[in-house]
Structure 1
Amino acid sequence: MIELSLSKQEWLLRGYWPWIPVKDRSMETGIEMVGVTDWIPATVPGGVHYDLFRSGWIQHPYNDLQSLHCEWVENRWWVYKTSFPRPQVSGTKFELVLQGLDYETMVYCNNTLLGEHTGMYHPAEYDVTNLVRENASIELKLVFKGVPQEMGQIGYTSRTSTQKSRFNYKWDFSTRLVNIGPWQDIVLRVHETCSLDDLAIHTDTSDQGEVGHVRIKAKVKLHVPEITPAGLKLQLRLEDPEGGLAAVTETEIGEELRTESLLDIRQPKLWNVHGFGEQPLYRLHVRLAGADGYIFDERTHNVGIRKLEYKHNEGAPDDSFPYTFVVNGTPVFIKGVNITPLDHLYGNVSGEQYEWLVYRMKRANVNLVRVWGGGLIEKRTLYDLCDRHGILVWQEFIQSSSGIDNVPSKLTGFLDLLGKSAAAALKEKRNHVSLAVWSGGNELMSAPDTPSTLEDENLAILHKLVLMHDPERLFLPTSASGPREFISRDKGVSHDVHGGWQYQGNPGHYELYGESDHLFHSEFGVDGVTSVRSLRKFFSPEHHYPTRMREHVIWRHHGEWWGTLDRDQTIFGPIHDISDFSDCSQWMQAEGLRYIIEANRRRAFRSSGCVVWQMNEPWPNASCTNLVDYYGDAKMAYHWMQEAYAPRRATLDYRRIDHAVGSDFAASVWVHNDASSTDARVRVRVYNRCGTLMQEELFHTWAESGRPTSVGELRFNVTPDHEGLFFVRLEWEDAEPSAPSAMYTFGTESDHVYASARSYHNVQLSIEPQTDWQTAATGFDLPFIERSYLISNTGMVPALHIRAAETTNAYWSEVEEQYFTLLPGEARLVKARCTRKAGGGFLSADQYGQQADVPPPSLEFTYFCAKTATSAAL
């Protein structure tokens, strides 16, 4: 089989009133009815909105309120067309495969209607053999019939009728901007007499990993039904990660046209989860050959060899699911993130965007990504990257809660459509070694706070499909998976739970999460305002001031649910400056999120892990629960999550952030160790607001691999010398791999507990580059350059939350350590990495000029509530 992509052809796009492309001419006058737009250049894969923007038909829909002026687009019909010559290859069958039509589409070739297709997750496939053979040139025309009616975040799940990505219709992190168009590739497949079909690859190990097993199942599809080639064989060749021969075999294919083969590999190189070893990938070549050796079809796949098991949590009730993932015999505490689609208009997302996302996940010590059921079954690029970099995938089918009711839909026709989408996803994704679990959807509930179970007809169908197509993997009916949906203060009722999504106040936040007894925490978050740098990209200057969401329509349009001004003023006092607002809001997001993660880690493996909501956002929000913003820049919460997820980490368990003068402070000290068991020495220092050392203790323990360990308790009396703010710093000394220090901030006032953090004046930092920009090796295909800086606090007061931003806007940038505190006289060496921005679609505008004009990266360093940068761009 040969695949010829048609996406690189010259495509055109035109808009029409509904049904006009079918009727073409007026019944009364006979005059041709032309479009509501002209023919304009189109991108495939892509979407209507970006092409309209490029040709000046709409303004940038992500700025201010301009998406409201684009809603007319979904009420028109849109026609894509292209022409291509007859391919100069021979074959028995020519098949047109449209891999992602979004959403209801009529497909024409040379004005012949091939068929109508509904659904964006299973391909439209048409036999075009005669058309190809009889015509020197072929015109392909796709008529997209507007968008279907569907609900956004609020509605009735039981009335869901489509397999359309629902976040498009309005979610708390998005607006209503409904994608239309071919969002995945369009190919012409050229088949011989027969070809491979339904290829399934499963790997396992035995004898404690001494023998690896690669099991291959396949069917043979005949394209000339009356002819069965004699002596068909399945030839398998497995190459090791260095390209050497690992195994080879040949199997006869019987009359039933099915086959199954097993390859055994002695002393295999095992694929591991990120943080637990390397991710070697074998190369599997699968050939369908005739008796004379002629190759009818050939496929290649990257294969990881590993054992994946699921076990019940320690002390878990008998009716719970096995939430602990065990890879190669080692229980893996899940340090996960949830993702949304990378863009509201997802057809234009570039491969580089996926790479930057996975790079950010890996650098943050993430080992699992949940692909959320209100978004997409993502493009292959994401799963390939997770295979390469050891990030497990939790894949949900496309269903989600709606608030008014959350009962899985059973409408006529919907279950059939759901089944088609699910079967296509199962067959496409099951061969990825990173795939770890399937879920029926997001927050499906048979009653309030009661997750749906396999007794639901909808979820029973999905479970049956998983057993049919991918039986080795775990299927969860929904996320959360009960018996209670949301995190609770009640004991003994929580298995996998969701929530909350905001800071719960002081001390409520710490009491709730510090004392919860759930088994798994598959979605939770805290909200925070984006950076002023990003805010300036999508808000006009007159909107750059702190506000409550209900008091400002444009802020409300970009993050209505996530207003934090009242919260932040309760903690920091009155806020009038937009930069201060962003700094204070991001601090509380980071503080709240870090505490939840550390509390979950302290309970491993009674708790099997946590999955933060949310890693990214599909359009720019003024405030949101995201960790990385639409433009690719990380918020403070990302960096504190990165530290909280570190393989080795010392943490402090506390129940409030205010401690009055005269009170007793008490908090336990813990160590977390995902590396080998080791001796641990944790030095704990207490500083007052000026950075003066008030107390120092050394705790010593044996840190068992994979286990949290309580080291001891820090106790002291809060004296007038602590007044205002005091800091507790934990350092795991001589750790290899190194453990990031942890700095916790407390205040002595119950009102505006962190207010005095805004009063530091005369902060003085010295920024000294230690190297020139040079090529960096990261294991990713993105071309990185890196440079080191020595940052010193040369002043008399602490410098809080030091960070750097790249100022040319030409690069995605990462600094290894961000939002750290330097006390007077302290210094830290940090490394910055940059790679050229390469976003697709609307992100193409968020770049620097033309290729030849790009300057080297320029970094600007600053700190908490600084009015100006502390250093010129370096």
Structure 2
Amino acid sequence: MREIDIGGSAWEVKGFWPWVPIKGTSMELGQELLGVTDWLPATIPGGVHYDLYRAGLIAHPYKDLNSLQCEWVENRWWLYRTEVSRPEQTGERIELVFKGLDYEAVVYAGGKLLGEHKGMYHEAAFDVTALFEERATLEIAVLLKHAPDEMAQIGKTSETFTQKSRFNYKWDFSTRLVNLGIWDDVVLRVHECHSIGEVYLHTDADVDTDSDSVTATRGGRTEGAGGEGKGRIRLDVEIEQIASAVGTEAQANLRLIARCYDPQGKLAAERETEARIGGEVVLELEIPQAQLWYPNGYGAQPLYQVRLLLQADGVTVDERAYRTGIRKLEYVANEGAPADALPYTVKINGKRIYIRGVNMTPIDHLYGNVTDGQYAWAVRLMEEGNVNLVRVWGGGLIEKTRLYELCDENGILVWQEFIQSSSGVDNIPSKKPEFLELLERSARAALASRRNHVSLVVWSGGNELMSEPNKPSDLTDGNLALLRDLVRKYDPNRLFLPTSASGPVEYITEEKGLGHDVHGHWKYQGNPRHYELYGDNDNLFHSEFGVDGLSRIKSLHKFLGEAHREPVSMKTSMVWRHHGEWWDTLERDEEVFGPMKTLADFSDCSQWMQAEGLRFILEANRRRKFNNSGSIIWQLNEPWPNVSCTNLVDYYGEPKMAYYWMKQAFAPLHVSLDYRKLDYGKGEPFRHSLYVHACEAGIPVAVTVEVLDVQGTVHHVARYEGTTANERALRIGELDFRMPDTNDGLVLVRVRCETERCDFLQQPPSVYFFSISDGPLYAGALTFARNAKTAVRRHGEWRYAEGLATAEFVIANEGTAAALHVHAEELTDLYWMDTDDQYFTLLPGETRGVSVRCVPKTGGGFLAEEVAAAQASDTLPQIRFRSFLEEPTTDYERNDGQ
């Protein structure tokens, strides 16, 4: 089988009123019905909105309130067309295959109806062999009907009737902008007389379960050499006969050959067997000293290539290639879990994996235009952020194949949900016959295409499905039992969870014994409530929660018109409400800091509280490893630009402060302070425990704690020594002092963990901020922050390797007060940027070296304008550093050519 991509052909699209392209001419006048647009150039994969924008027919839908003027698009019918040449080698059969039609389509070729298709997640395949026998070129036409009237976030899940991505219809992090288009690849698939059908690839390994060694590093994260064990790769392969070749079976001697090549390209194993039409052929490959695959932070990710060859009478008629890792996958109960709890702890190669996860929404509201580069940037941020699992959320997408390949390559475990989600009015899984038929079809397609990825560890029936308020649905629900049975049949080695959260209660609770797998909350709970709730919780698995915060000022200016760039409540601004109604933090932040004077100040303060609130939850959960099996943050990204949201990375690919504090809290070696409030009286005792977190036991560590004021005066110092514990957090000691009297009402507790182990790079210190103020907690920060002054000098030239530009900087605080939350900004807007250390605190006279990494932007759709500018420019990255509330600095030397 060969696939020939035809998405790059010259496609056009034209809009019509419903039914008009079927009718064609006016019944009354007999004249052609012209449609609502002319023929426009179309992007494939893509979507109608971006093509209309390029043609000047709609305003940029992500700016201000413009999307409200674009809602007519979903109510029209759209006709795509192109011409395709006959393949040079036609084989026995040629199929026209659409890998993603969105949503209800009628497909024509050569003026003939091929068929109709409904659904986003299973292929539409049509036999065009006979048509190509008649002509050398074939006109393809795809008529997309208007979008179905599906449920938004608020509605009735029980009334759901489609398998269309529902966040498009309005969610708390998106607007209503319903995509229509050909959202995935279009190919001609050429078959010979016999073909390899579905393949199920499963790997397993015999490992030393007592081994706890992790021995190498990459980028400061612990990376095992991977370890070795006896590996096995099992292949269940279907063999198909092409209809036009019927009769050749008796004459053909069919053989199936499987070859496995190790990560260095050497042949590691080979098997061959007789193949028969219509049944499964099973092949097992054994690799005596297999290089084992581990999640990010626990080891390396060596990938083997598996090649399948189908031969008829000694001639290869089909072949497939797969990349996979070899690992042993298991699931076990949490320590101290109730008998009725599900097994929430994942084991890889005999080692329990503490989940440091993120939830992922679709990357773009108009997801057909997402590029491989955007997937790569998202996964890079996961890997660099010490994340080891991504939950692909059920209100979004079964993502394109490239995401799963990148997760395989970077050690990011995948939790994939089927396409169902709660709706608020009721959250009961739909039992509509039409829906169940579509759900089964899309689930079956997802299982066949995603199960061969080594990174996949969990299937889930959907998001927040509940049989009654605060009670997650279980397998007594026929909808979820259907999905469970499909997973058992087609991917029996992986865990199926009925829904997320999986109960027995939906939301986090203070009541003990009920918090198994829970969601919530998504707001900072206030002081001291936030710290009491999360610090004393006993949940087994925290699979969704978050804290909201504003986007960076650079991003806010991209989609907010000048008239809307002042601090304001979403209660009073329609534009702000349109970009994040649920996530208004003005009242919260003014209570903590005092009045917000500028948008930049508001952004800085809001991001601080988001980072503070999120860090505490992550550290509190991690202190209970493996009573708690992990945290999955809501959410990594956002599909359109919000003023404020619970995301770690904004629509433009800019990581927020919370991303970097997550990165630190998820580090392979980290120390945390366990506290229960932010406000103290002068002289009040402070007695709280310190914990060391590590992915490996037996690491000698030293923890140093300094209690400081913002001028850098040291009021207390303590030092602790210990050795990291086996699969649990180490309580290394108690910090005990009395709160000093400081001029600005703030007390800084700086905590550093060090080890002489060379395979653990030194992590930057964590800083905790406490208040002794009688007024707003952090009001003093708005005063003294103006006295900080960061000075930057570049150290070394930009270095380029594999599309990445890296430069080293040294930053100094030349002011008289602490420079809080020092961070880099890229000025040209031609690059995505991350750093090894960001949003850190420098006391007066201190310096810090920072490595900055820049990747040229490669976004699609409405981000393509930034990409075009990057491709047309040879400008090097330009970096500035600023601290909390500090004006942007410009006093650094530029490289030659800037």
Counterpart secondary structure, 1:338: strand
2:24 is aligned with what amino acid? Answer: D
User: Residue 741 of structure 1 aligns with which residue?
Assistant: 765
Establish whether residue 246 from structure 1 lines up as the match of residue 246 from structure 2.
Answer: no
Whether contact under 8 Å (1:202, 1:216) holds in the other structure is: yes
Whether contact under 8 Å (2:700, 2:755) holds in the other structure is: no
Q: Deviation of residue 870 (structure 1)? A: 6.4
1:845 is aligned with what amino acid? Answer: E
User: Residue 61 of structure 1 aligns with which residue?
Assistant: 61
User: Residue 368 of structure 2 aligns with which residue?
Assistant: 347
Whether contact under 8 Å (2:331, 2:346) holds in the other structure is: yes
Q: Deviation of residue 6 (structure 1)? A: 1.1
Establish whether residue 784 from structure 1 lines up as the match of residue 809 from structure 2.
Answer: no
Establish whether residue 460 from structure 1 lines up as the match of residue 489 from structure 2.
Answer: no
User: Residue 232 of structure 1 aligns with which residue?
Assistant: 254
1:830 is aligned with what amino acid? Answer: V
2:645 is matched with which residue: 621, 624, 647?
624
User: Residue 390 of structure 1 aligns with which residue?
Assistant: 411
Q: Deviation of residue 718 (structure 1)? A: 1.8
Counterpart secondary structure, 2:321: strand
Q: Deviation of residue 715 (structure 1)? A: 1.4
Matches within 5 A, 1:206-605: 206=206, 208=208, 210-224=229-243, 225-228=246-249, 230-254=252-276, 256-290=278-312, 292-605=313-626
Q: Deviation of residue 67 (structure 1)? A: 0.4
Establish whether residue 164 from structure 1 lines up as the match of residue 183 from structure 2.
Answer: no
Matches within 5 A, 1:707-726: 707-721=728-742, 724-726=745-747
Question: Which runs of no fewer than 5 residues in structure 2 stay unpaired?
Answer: 209-227
User: Residue 667 of structure 1 aligns with which residue?
Assistant: 688
2:670 is aligned with what amino acid? Answer: R
Q: Deviation of residue 254 (structure 1)? A: 3.6
Counterpart secondary structure, 1:740: coil
Counterpart secondary structure, 2:869: coil
Q: Deviation of residue 719 (structure 1)? A: 3.5
2:274 is aligned with what amino acid? Answer: E
* TM-score for the superposition, normalised by structure 2: 0.95
Aligned counterparts of 1:131 and 1:480: Cα–Cα separation in 2: 50
> 1:686-717 CA deviation, whole Å, 9 max, x = no partner?
00232200000111122124320111111112
- Residues 33 and 723 of structure 1, relative CA distance in 2, 3 Å threshold: closer
Aligned counterparts of 1:77 and 1:768: Cα–Cα separation in 2: 57
> 1:562-615 CA deviation, whole Å, 9 max, x = no partner?
000000001001112111100000000000000000000000000000000000
Q: Deviation of residue 255 (structure 1)? A: 5.7
* TM-score for the superposition, normalised by structure 1: 0.98
User: Residue 52 of structure 1 aligns with which residue?
Assistant: 52
User: Residue 837 of structure 1 aligns with which residue?
Assistant: 857
Matches within 5 A, 1:640-719: 640-719=661-740
Counterpart secondary structure, 1:849: helix
Aligned counterparts of 2:277 and 2:108: Cα–Cα separation in 1: 37
1:841 is aligned with what amino acid? Answer: G
Aligned counterparts of 1:343 and 1:807: Cα–Cα separation in 2: 23
Count residues with an aligned counterpart: 868
Q: Deviation of residue 195 (structure 1)? A: 0.4
Whether contact under 8 Å (1:861, 1:871) holds in the other structure is: no
Aligned counterparts of 2:233 and 2:775: Cα–Cα separation in 1: 62
Cα RMSD over matched residues? 1.3
Counterpart secondary structure, 1:830: strand
Aligned counterparts of 1:486 and 1:871: Cα–Cα separation in 2: 50
Aligned counterparts of 1:393 and 1:720: Cα–Cα separation in 2: 49
> 1:260-293 CA deviation, whole Å, 9 max, x = no partner?
0100000101111111111110111001111x21
Whether contact under 8 Å (1:681, 1:700) holds in the other structure is: yes
Counterpart secondary structure, 2:571: helix
Aligned counterparts of 1:369 and 1:721: Cα–Cα separation in 2: 43
1:767 is aligned with what amino acid? Answer: V
Aligned counterparts of 1:673 and 1:866: Cα–Cα separation in 2: 35
Whether contact under 8 Å (1:648, 1:672) holds in the other structure is: yes
User: Residue 816 of structure 1 aligns with which residue?
Assistant: 836
2:234 is aligned with what amino acid? Answer: R
> 1:390-436 CA deviation, whole Å, 9 max, x = no partner?
00000000000000100000012110100000000000000000001
Establish whether residue 766 from structure 1 lines up as the match of residue 795 from structure 2.
Answer: no
Aligned counterparts of 2:808 and 2:696: Cα–Cα separation in 1: 27
> 1:372-393 CA deviation, whole Å, 9 max, x = no partner?
0000000000000000010000
Whether contact under 8 Å (1:809, 1:847) holds in the other structure is: no
Aligned counterparts of 1:213 and 1:491: Cα–Cα separation in 2: 43
- Residues 52 and 873 of structure 1, relative CA distance in 2, 3 Å threshold: farther
Aligned counterparts of 1:606 and 1:701: Cα–Cα separation in 2: 22
1:14 is aligned with what amino acid? Answer: K
Aligned counterparts of 1:873 and 1:562: Cα–Cα separation in 2: 39
Whether contact under 8 Å (1:848, 1:854) holds in the other structure is: no
Aligned counterparts of 1:256 and 1:432: Cα–Cα separation in 2: 25
Q: Deviation of residue 872 (structure 1)? A: 4.8
Aligned counterparts of 1:547 and 1:170: Cα–Cα separation in 2: 23
- Residues 246 and 768 of structure 1, relative CA distance in 2, 3 Å threshold: same
Whether contact under 8 Å (1:807, 1:873) holds in the other structure is: no
Aligned counterparts of 2:74 and 2:514: Cα–Cα separation in 1: 44
Aligned counterparts of 1:207 and 1:800: Cα–Cα separation in 2: 47
Aligned counterparts of 2:734 and 2:695: Cα–Cα separation in 1: 22
Q: Deviation of residue 146 (structure 1)? A: 1.1
Aligned counterparts of 1:800 and 1:723: Cα–Cα separation in 2: 14
Counterpart secondary structure, 2:90: coil
1:26 is aligned with what amino acid? Answer: S
Q: Deviation of residue 227 (structure 1)? A: 3.7
Counterpart secondary structure, 1:365: coil
Establish whether residue 826 from structure 1 lines up as the match of residue 826 from structure 2.
Answer: no
Aligned counterparts of 2:557 and 2:891: Cα–Cα separation in 1: 21
Q: Deviation of residue 843 (structure 1)? A: 0.4
Aligned counterparts of 1:505 and 1:873: Cα–Cα separation in 2: 43
Q: Deviation of residue 853 (structure 1)? A: 2.8
Counterpart secondary structure, 2:291: coil
- Residues 207 and 853 of structure 1, relative CA distance in 2, 3 Å threshold: closer
Aligned counterparts of 1:7 and 1:469: Cα–Cα separation in 2: 31
Question: Which runs of no fewer than 5 residues in structure 1 stay unpaired?
Answer: none
2:887 is aligned with what amino acid? Answer: K
Counterpart secondary structure, 1:617: coil
User: Residue 780 of structure 2 aligns with which residue?
Assistant: 756
Q: Deviation of residue 771 (structure 1)? A: 0.6
Matches within 5 A, 1:71-110: 71-110=71-110
- Residues 499 and 511 of structure 1, relative CA distance in 2, 3 Å threshold: same
Aligned counterparts of 2:756 and 2:394: Cα–Cα separation in 1: 40
User: Residue 794 of structure 1 aligns with which residue?
Assistant: 814
Counterpart secondary structure, 1:549: coil
User: Residue 200 of structure 1 aligns with which residue?
Assistant: 200
Q: Deviation of residue 852 (structure 1)? A: 4.1
Whether contact under 8 Å (1:784, 1:833) holds in the other structure is: yes
Whether contact under 8 Å (1:81, 1:141) holds in the other structure is: yes
Whether contact under 8 Å (1:682, 1:733) holds in the other structure is: yes
> 1:456-499 CA deviation, whole Å, 9 max, x = no partner?
00000000000111000000000000001000011011100000
Q: Deviation of residue 848 (structure 1)? A: 6.5
1:85 is aligned with what amino acid? Answer: S
Counterpart secondary structure, 2:444: helix
